[in-house]
Amino acid sequence: MTFTSVPKRQVILDGKSYSLSSIGLGCMSFSLPAMQGQDPATIETAALEVIGKSLEMGVNIVNTATFYGPDGHNEKLLAKAIAKFGREKFFITDKFGVLHNRTTNAFEFSAPDSVAEECDASLKRLGTDYIDVYIPARVNPEVPIEKTMEQLAALQAAGKIRHIGLSEANAATIRRAHKIAPISFLEIEYSLWETQIEQVVLPCCRELGIKILAYSPLGRGFLTGTVKREDLGERDFRKMTPRFQGENFDNNKSTFLTPIEDIANRMSTESGEAVKPSQVALAWVLSRGEDIFPIPGTKRVQLLEENLKAAAIKLSSGDLTTLDTVVREGAAVGGRYPEFAAHMLQDLTVDSKAN
Protein backbone atom coordinates (compact mmCIF):
# COMPACT_ATOMS: atom_id res chain seq x y z
CA MET A 1 0.00 0.00 0.00
CA THR A 2 1.85 3.05 -1.29
CA PHE A 3 0.36 6.37 -0.24
CA THR A 4 1.57 9.82 -1.20
CA SER A 5 -1.52 12.01 -0.91
CA VAL A 6 -5.27 11.82 -1.34
CA PRO A 7 -5.99 11.65 -5.09
CA LYS A 8 -7.77 14.61 -6.65
CA ARG A 9 -10.71 14.41 -9.03
CA GLN A 10 -11.52 16.98 -11.68
CA VAL A 11 -15.13 18.02 -11.23
CA ILE A 12 -17.30 20.46 -13.17
CA LEU A 13 -19.88 22.28 -11.06
CA ASP A 14 -22.16 24.80 -12.75
CA GLY A 15 -19.62 25.12 -15.55
CA LYS A 16 -16.68 25.76 -13.20
CA SER A 17 -13.80 23.28 -12.88
CA TYR A 18 -12.49 22.13 -9.50
CA SER A 19 -9.80 19.74 -8.33
CA LEU A 20 -11.41 18.06 -5.30
CA SER A 21 -9.98 15.49 -2.93
CA SER A 22 -11.52 12.04 -3.31
CA ILE A 23 -11.96 11.95 0.47
CA GLY A 24 -13.15 14.93 2.49
CA LEU A 25 -13.14 15.76 6.18
CA GLY A 26 -16.32 15.76 8.23
CA CYS A 27 -15.88 18.31 11.01
CA MET A 28 -18.78 17.52 13.34
CA SER A 29 -16.69 15.49 15.78
CA PHE A 30 -14.56 18.55 16.59
CA SER A 31 -17.55 20.13 18.33
CA LEU A 32 -18.69 17.13 20.37
CA PRO A 33 -16.25 17.95 23.23
CA ALA A 34 -17.64 21.50 23.29
CA MET A 35 -21.11 20.11 23.88
CA GLN A 36 -19.67 18.24 26.85
CA GLY A 37 -18.07 21.34 28.34
CA GLN A 38 -14.44 20.49 27.63
CA ASP A 39 -11.69 23.12 27.57
CA PRO A 40 -12.08 25.34 24.46
CA ALA A 41 -8.33 25.82 24.00
CA THR A 42 -7.72 22.07 24.04
CA ILE A 43 -10.52 21.51 21.53
CA GLU A 44 -9.15 24.17 19.20
CA THR A 45 -5.58 22.86 19.34
CA ALA A 46 -6.65 19.31 18.55
CA ALA A 47 -8.97 20.38 15.73
CA LEU A 48 -6.38 22.60 14.06
CA GLU A 49 -3.85 19.78 14.23
CA VAL A 50 -6.22 17.38 12.46
CA ILE A 51 -7.29 19.96 9.87
CA GLY A 52 -3.69 20.94 9.20
CA LYS A 53 -2.68 17.32 8.74
CA SER A 54 -5.61 16.71 6.41
CA LEU A 55 -4.52 19.61 4.19
CA GLU A 56 -0.97 18.29 4.22
CA MET A 57 -2.26 14.91 3.03
CA GLY A 58 -4.24 16.42 0.17
CA VAL A 59 -7.73 17.03 1.53
CA ASN A 60 -9.57 20.18 0.51
CA ILE A 61 -13.24 19.28 1.05
CA VAL A 62 -14.42 20.12 4.57
CA ASN A 63 -17.96 19.64 5.82
CA THR A 64 -19.55 21.71 8.58
CA ALA A 65 -22.98 22.92 9.74
CA THR A 66 -24.55 25.76 11.66
CA PHE A 67 -25.82 23.34 14.32
CA TYR A 68 -22.59 21.43 14.98
CA GLY A 69 -21.94 22.45 18.55
CA PRO A 70 -23.37 25.37 20.53
CA ASP A 71 -23.65 28.84 18.97
CA GLY A 72 -22.10 27.94 15.63
CA HIS A 73 -19.07 26.41 17.34
CA ASN A 74 -18.00 24.31 14.36
CA GLU A 75 -18.06 27.17 11.89
CA LYS A 76 -16.11 29.37 14.31
CA LEU A 77 -13.54 26.61 14.72
CA LEU A 78 -13.22 26.26 10.97
CA ALA A 79 -12.72 30.03 10.77
CA LYS A 80 -9.59 29.60 12.90
CA ALA A 81 -8.32 27.04 10.40
CA ILE A 82 -9.13 29.32 7.46
CA ALA A 83 -7.24 32.17 9.12
CA LYS A 84 -4.25 29.93 9.80
CA PHE A 85 -4.00 27.99 6.54
CA GLY A 86 -5.70 30.25 3.97
CA ARG A 87 -9.17 30.29 2.42
CA GLU A 88 -7.90 28.94 -0.89
CA LYS A 89 -7.01 25.62 0.76
CA PHE A 90 -10.65 24.80 1.53
CA PHE A 91 -13.72 23.73 -0.41
CA ILE A 92 -16.36 24.39 2.24
CA THR A 93 -19.65 22.50 2.28
CA ASP A 94 -21.95 23.94 4.92
CA LYS A 95 -25.41 22.94 6.13
CA PHE A 96 -28.16 25.09 7.62
CA GLY A 97 -31.88 25.01 8.36
CA VAL A 98 -31.91 22.83 11.47
CA LEU A 99 -31.91 23.90 15.10
CA HIS A 100 -30.83 21.63 17.95
CA ASN A 101 -32.82 22.22 21.12
CA ARG A 102 -30.23 21.21 23.68
CA THR A 103 -32.77 21.24 26.50
CA THR A 104 -35.07 18.65 24.93
CA ASN A 105 -32.37 17.19 22.63
CA ALA A 106 -34.85 17.58 19.78
CA PHE A 107 -34.08 18.75 16.27
CA GLU A 108 -36.34 21.37 14.72
CA PHE A 109 -36.56 23.19 11.40
CA SER A 110 -35.56 26.83 11.35
CA ALA A 111 -37.89 29.49 9.93
CA PRO A 112 -38.68 29.00 6.20
CA ASP A 113 -37.71 32.56 5.27
CA SER A 114 -34.43 32.60 7.19
CA VAL A 115 -32.14 31.23 4.46
CA ALA A 116 -30.44 34.56 3.67
CA GLU A 117 -30.16 35.45 7.35
CA GLU A 118 -28.61 32.08 8.16
CA CYS A 119 -26.16 32.40 5.29
CA ASP A 120 -25.01 35.84 6.43
CA ALA A 121 -24.50 34.48 9.94
CA SER A 122 -22.49 31.54 8.59
CA LEU A 123 -20.30 33.81 6.47
CA LYS A 124 -19.58 35.94 9.52
CA ARG A 125 -18.74 32.96 11.72
CA LEU A 126 -16.54 31.41 9.02
CA GLY A 127 -14.76 34.68 8.33
CA THR A 128 -15.20 34.37 4.57
CA ASP A 129 -17.23 36.12 1.89
CA TYR A 130 -18.45 32.97 0.15
CA ILE A 131 -19.39 29.36 0.86
CA ASP A 132 -18.59 26.77 -1.80
CA VAL A 133 -21.70 24.63 -1.32
CA TYR A 134 -24.63 25.66 0.88
CA ILE A 135 -26.98 22.86 1.87
CA PRO A 136 -30.34 22.73 3.68
CA ALA A 137 -29.62 19.97 6.18
CA ARG A 138 -33.06 18.39 5.86
CA VAL A 139 -36.12 18.85 3.67
CA ASN A 140 -38.90 20.62 5.57
CA PRO A 141 -42.18 18.88 4.62
CA GLU A 142 -44.11 22.07 5.42
CA VAL A 143 -42.14 24.21 2.97
CA PRO A 144 -42.16 23.65 -0.80
CA ILE A 145 -38.62 22.86 -1.89
CA GLU A 146 -39.09 25.41 -4.68
CA LYS A 147 -39.32 28.19 -2.09
CA THR A 148 -36.05 27.15 -0.46
CA MET A 149 -34.36 26.83 -3.84
CA GLU A 150 -35.43 30.30 -4.92
CA GLN A 151 -33.78 31.74 -1.80
CA LEU A 152 -30.62 29.73 -2.45
CA ALA A 153 -30.55 30.83 -6.09
CA ALA A 154 -30.69 34.45 -4.94
CA LEU A 155 -27.70 33.86 -2.65
CA GLN A 156 -25.84 32.24 -5.53
CA ALA A 157 -26.59 35.19 -7.80
CA ALA A 158 -25.28 37.52 -5.08
CA GLY A 159 -22.01 35.58 -4.90
CA LYS A 160 -22.47 34.54 -1.28
CA ILE A 161 -22.57 30.87 -2.21
CA ARG A 162 -20.91 29.22 -5.21
CA HIS A 163 -23.10 26.13 -5.47
CA ILE A 164 -26.28 24.61 -4.06
CA GLY A 165 -26.65 21.24 -2.39
CA LEU A 166 -29.31 19.13 -0.72
CA SER A 167 -29.12 16.65 2.13
CA GLU A 168 -31.17 13.53 2.84
CA ALA A 169 -33.52 14.33 -0.04
CA ASN A 170 -35.39 11.74 -2.04
CA ALA A 171 -35.35 11.60 -5.84
CA ALA A 172 -38.70 13.34 -6.25
CA THR A 173 -37.48 16.31 -4.19
CA ILE A 174 -34.17 16.38 -6.03
CA ARG A 175 -35.92 16.61 -9.39
CA ARG A 176 -38.21 19.42 -8.25
CA ALA A 177 -35.31 21.35 -6.76
CA HIS A 178 -33.08 20.85 -9.80
CA LYS A 179 -35.72 22.48 -12.02
CA ILE A 180 -35.34 25.74 -10.06
CA ALA A 181 -31.54 25.81 -9.89
CA PRO A 182 -28.79 23.24 -10.49
CA ILE A 183 -27.96 20.97 -7.56
CA SER A 184 -24.24 20.24 -7.34
CA PHE A 185 -24.04 17.89 -4.36
CA LEU A 186 -26.33 15.65 -2.36
CA GLU A 187 -25.07 14.98 1.15
CA ILE A 188 -26.46 11.66 2.33
CA GLU A 189 -25.52 8.67 4.46
CA TYR A 190 -23.76 5.96 2.46
CA SER A 191 -21.68 3.03 3.66
CA LEU A 192 -21.54 -0.74 3.59
CA TRP A 193 -24.36 -0.89 6.12
CA GLU A 194 -26.44 1.93 4.59
CA THR A 195 -26.93 1.56 0.85
CA GLN A 196 -30.54 2.64 0.44
CA ILE A 197 -29.54 5.41 -1.97
CA GLU A 198 -28.54 2.84 -4.57
CA GLN A 199 -32.18 1.96 -5.24
CA VAL A 200 -33.53 5.28 -6.54
CA VAL A 201 -31.58 8.29 -5.28
CA LEU A 202 -28.14 7.53 -6.72
CA PRO A 203 -29.45 6.75 -10.23
CA CYS A 204 -31.39 10.03 -10.14
CA CYS A 205 -28.29 11.98 -9.09
CA ARG A 206 -26.22 10.39 -11.83
CA GLU A 207 -28.84 11.22 -14.41
CA LEU A 208 -28.73 14.88 -13.34
CA GLY A 209 -24.95 15.07 -12.82
CA ILE A 210 -25.17 15.55 -9.05
CA LYS A 211 -22.20 14.45 -6.92
CA ILE A 212 -22.53 12.62 -3.59
CA LEU A 213 -21.06 13.70 -0.25
CA ALA A 214 -21.19 10.39 1.62
CA TYR A 215 -21.47 11.09 5.33
CA SER A 216 -20.95 8.40 7.99
CA PRO A 217 -19.06 6.19 5.52
CA LEU A 218 -17.83 4.20 8.53
CA GLY A 219 -21.29 3.73 10.00
CA ARG A 220 -20.62 6.20 12.83
CA GLY A 221 -17.55 4.19 13.73
CA PHE A 222 -19.24 0.79 13.74
CA LEU A 223 -17.37 -0.43 10.66
CA THR A 224 -13.99 0.33 12.26
CA GLY A 225 -14.44 -2.63 14.59
CA THR A 226 -13.37 -0.55 17.58
CA VAL A 227 -16.81 0.41 18.92
CA LYS A 228 -18.07 -1.57 21.89
CA ARG A 229 -21.67 -1.29 22.94
CA GLU A 230 -20.75 -1.03 26.62
CA ASP A 231 -18.40 1.89 25.96
CA LEU A 232 -21.10 4.19 24.60
CA GLY A 233 -21.86 6.91 27.13
CA GLU A 234 -25.35 8.06 28.01
CA ARG A 235 -24.92 11.23 25.95
CA ASP A 236 -23.49 9.40 22.95
CA PHE A 237 -25.80 9.80 19.96
CA ARG A 238 -25.12 6.20 19.00
CA LYS A 239 -26.42 4.83 22.28
CA MET A 240 -29.82 6.27 21.34
CA THR A 241 -29.64 4.87 17.80
CA PRO A 242 -31.48 1.54 17.26
CA ARG A 243 -28.66 0.01 15.19
CA PHE A 244 -26.33 0.22 18.17
CA GLN A 245 -28.76 -1.21 20.71
CA GLY A 246 -29.15 -4.69 22.19
CA GLU A 247 -29.26 -7.62 19.79
CA ASN A 248 -29.22 -5.22 16.84
CA PHE A 249 -25.59 -4.41 17.60
CA ASP A 250 -24.59 -8.08 17.71
CA ASN A 251 -26.51 -8.99 14.56
CA ASN A 252 -25.00 -6.08 12.64
CA LYS A 253 -21.54 -7.03 13.81
CA SER A 254 -21.96 -10.56 12.47
CA THR A 255 -23.43 -9.38 9.16
CA PHE A 256 -21.12 -6.50 8.32
CA LEU A 257 -18.05 -6.36 10.52
CA THR A 258 -16.96 -9.99 10.33
CA PRO A 259 -16.43 -10.05 6.52
CA ILE A 260 -14.75 -6.64 6.59
CA GLU A 261 -12.32 -7.81 9.29
CA ASP A 262 -11.63 -11.02 7.37
CA ILE A 263 -10.65 -9.03 4.27
CA ALA A 264 -8.51 -6.61 6.31
CA ASN A 265 -6.69 -9.49 8.02
CA ARG A 266 -6.01 -11.27 4.73
CA MET A 267 -4.74 -8.08 3.08
CA SER A 268 -2.49 -7.41 6.08
CA THR A 269 -0.99 -10.89 5.82
CA GLU A 270 -0.45 -10.67 2.06
CA SER A 271 1.03 -7.17 2.02
CA GLY A 272 2.96 -7.26 5.27
CA GLU A 273 1.37 -3.92 6.16
CA ALA A 274 -1.47 -3.40 8.61
CA VAL A 275 -4.79 -2.87 6.86
CA LYS A 276 -7.64 -1.68 9.07
CA PRO A 277 -11.32 -2.61 8.74
CA SER A 278 -12.03 1.12 8.42
CA GLN A 279 -9.79 1.29 5.36
CA VAL A 280 -11.58 -1.63 3.73
CA ALA A 281 -14.95 0.02 4.41
CA LEU A 282 -13.79 3.35 2.95
CA ALA A 283 -12.16 1.66 -0.02
CA TRP A 284 -15.51 0.06 -0.80
CA VAL A 285 -17.26 3.46 -0.79
CA LEU A 286 -14.54 4.89 -3.03
CA SER A 287 -15.01 1.97 -5.41
CA ARG A 288 -18.65 2.91 -6.01
CA GLY A 289 -17.80 5.73 -8.38
CA GLU A 290 -15.80 8.88 -9.07
CA ASP A 291 -18.89 10.93 -8.22
CA ILE A 292 -18.94 9.76 -4.59
CA PHE A 293 -16.87 11.66 -2.01
CA PRO A 294 -16.81 10.09 1.48
CA ILE A 295 -16.41 12.59 4.33
CA PRO A 296 -15.35 10.63 7.44
CA GLY A 297 -14.68 12.61 10.59
CA THR A 298 -12.27 12.14 13.47
CA LYS A 299 -10.68 14.11 16.30
CA ARG A 300 -7.38 12.21 16.14
CA VAL A 301 -4.50 12.57 13.69
CA GLN A 302 -3.74 8.84 13.78
CA LEU A 303 -7.26 7.93 12.71
CA LEU A 304 -7.25 10.68 10.08
CA GLU A 305 -4.12 9.18 8.54
CA GLU A 306 -5.69 5.72 8.54
CA ASN A 307 -8.83 7.05 6.87
CA LEU A 308 -7.00 8.94 4.15
CA LYS A 309 -4.65 6.06 3.38
CA ALA A 310 -7.75 4.08 2.39
CA ALA A 311 -7.40 5.88 -0.94
CA ALA A 312 -4.43 3.61 -1.64
CA ILE A 313 -6.32 0.40 -0.87
CA LYS A 314 -7.21 -1.61 -3.95
CA LEU A 315 -9.88 -4.20 -3.29
CA SER A 316 -9.68 -7.29 -5.48
CA SER A 317 -12.61 -8.40 -7.61
CA GLY A 318 -13.13 -11.20 -5.10
CA ASP A 319 -13.20 -8.75 -2.19
CA LEU A 320 -15.70 -6.55 -4.00
CA THR A 321 -17.87 -9.56 -4.77
CA THR A 322 -17.80 -10.56 -1.11
CA LEU A 323 -18.74 -7.09 0.07
CA ASP A 324 -21.38 -6.65 -2.61
CA THR A 325 -22.93 -9.92 -1.48
CA VAL A 326 -22.99 -8.63 2.08
CA VAL A 327 -24.79 -5.50 0.91
CA ARG A 328 -27.19 -7.39 -1.33
CA GLU A 329 -28.11 -10.14 1.12
CA GLY A 330 -27.64 -8.40 4.45
CA ALA A 331 -29.64 -5.58 5.94
CA ALA A 332 -28.70 -3.51 8.95
CA VAL A 333 -31.00 -4.23 11.87
CA GLY A 334 -32.50 -1.14 13.49
CA GLY A 335 -33.12 2.41 12.35
CA ARG A 336 -30.18 4.64 11.50
CA TYR A 337 -31.42 7.56 13.63
CA PRO A 338 -33.05 7.93 17.05
CA GLU A 339 -36.72 8.85 17.01
CA PHE A 340 -36.06 12.50 17.88
CA ALA A 341 -34.08 12.91 14.64
CA ALA A 342 -35.62 10.28 12.36
CA HIS A 343 -38.79 12.32 11.84
CA MET A 344 -36.80 14.76 9.69
CA LEU A 345 -35.81 12.11 7.14
CA GLN A 346 -37.52 11.70 3.78
CA ASP A 347 -38.60 8.36 2.37
CA LEU A 348 -35.71 7.60 0.03
CA THR A 349 -37.68 4.99 -1.90
CA VAL A 350 -40.07 7.53 -3.46
CA ASP A 351 -40.03 7.03 -7.22
CA SER A 352 -37.56 9.27 -9.01
CA LYS A 353 -40.13 10.19 -11.64
CA ALA A 354 -42.66 11.40 -9.05
CA ASN A 355 -43.86 14.98 -9.37
The set of catalytic residues is 68
Residue type, 62: V
Single out the residue of 117, 20, 95 nearest to residue 60, CA to CA: 20
Cβ atoms of 169 and 148 within 8 Å: the answer is no
* Burial tier of 161 (Cβ tally within 10 Å: 0-12, 13-18, 19+): buried
Contacts of 344 (CB under 8 A, 6+ apart): 98, 107, 109, 138, 168
Q: How far is CA 315 from the centre of its chain?
A: 22
> For the chain, first and last CA: distance in Å?
47
Give me the phi and psi of 284, to 5 degrees please.
-65, -45
Compute CA 68 distance to the chain's CA centroid, rounded to the nearest angstrom: 13
Cβ(17)–Cβ(8) below 8 Å: no
Report residue 6: phi and psi, to 5°.
-65, 125
